[in-house]
Amino acid sequence: MTEPSTSPRTALVTGAAGFIGYHLCRRLLEDGFRVIGLDSLNDYYDVALKDRRRAMLMQSDGFRFVHAKIEEPGLLMGLMADERPDIVVHLAAQAGVRYSIDQPRAYLEANLIGSFELLEAARAYPPQHMLMASTSSVYGANTEMPYAETAKADSQMSFYAATKKANEAMAHSYAHLYDLPITMFRFFTVYGPWGRPDMALFKFTKAILQGVPIDVYNHGDMKRDFTYVEDLVQGIRLLIDAAPVRPETPEAIAPGDSLSAVAPWRVVNIGNSEPVQLLDFIRAIEQATGRSATLNLMPMQAGDVPATWADGALLQSLTGYSPRTAVPEGVAQFVAWYRDYFQV
């Protein structure tokens, strides 16, 4: 009788030195995975922050770091051939709604060409499950909330969102043609320790501690479904073991499930399912810092949306899990990290 293999599962994580990538890699290592982390360490924001995250991951014997761009021709093909990962989690992307207005080519190269390179590599060396990051921004101008995965999403408001919706369509075609199990997950305003400096929480905390005004768009009349990073990672971790299977008939798909009728492909929201007013979010930062904010009220920025709100029923159905960290708790964790990291 052959004994079952006890070797650890191997996960390839693209964007491993990024905010979410770092937290996910750390969780997978804690769970006994061998992790191959790929990142270009580009200068979209402070490289020192990315390098700190990378260095902490490198302290684990189970972590291998690859410094490269995902769009480099053949790079991912060779890496998949060498490592044959069981799981692939694709987080690498050019992020940011507003930056995509000024620098759209960066999104074309990383988000579209890079994702194409990964899909081609997965076609040649299929993993057991591939999970790919999308975004709540794909819901665009939709006004019916909470956003459900089965709702039509064809009115993207930024080129960033358009590239992510294109990734969903690209992945669906590969899932259909090559029977690749693929889960797309749509993030909702992720925040927490080791976050990105271009995001509101980081910028607001920095400004409040320095005593300078903060820019508040749409005069503060905005709502976001803020999702704490550890909650997001827990959702991804549980989805790893919930690979989609091509249904035998369309009638076999449960109500509310975004599972494709013709492919082992599904899209899943990961959000707190509790939209918070932007001004209440700022008040949580004030409470955590012990400082008052000076608000510079401004009109809505191009490409932005006034509200986001996740329907979390599908994630709950698939995994039994729902994000649960309240904003004041999560913000306090970030502010504590920020003060420690910057010694303020």
Q: Interhelix angle for 114-124 vs 159-178, to 10°?
A: 10
- Of the candidates 160, 191, 217, 338, the residue annotated as catalytic is 160
Buried/exposed 291-310: b ≥16 CB within 10 Å, e otherwise: eebeeeeeeeeebebebbbb
Annotated active-site residue 341? The verdict is no
Residue 55, phi then psi, degrees to nearest 5:
-60, -40
Question: What is the rounded CA–CA span in Å between residue 137 and residue 215?
Answer: 21
Question: What is the rounded CA–CA span in Å between residue 179 and residue 128?
Answer: 11
**259 Cβ neighbours under 8 A, 6+ residues apart:** 244, 247, 253, 265, 266
State the Cα torsion 313-172-265-325 to the nearest 10°.
Answer: -40
Which residues are known to be catalytic?
160
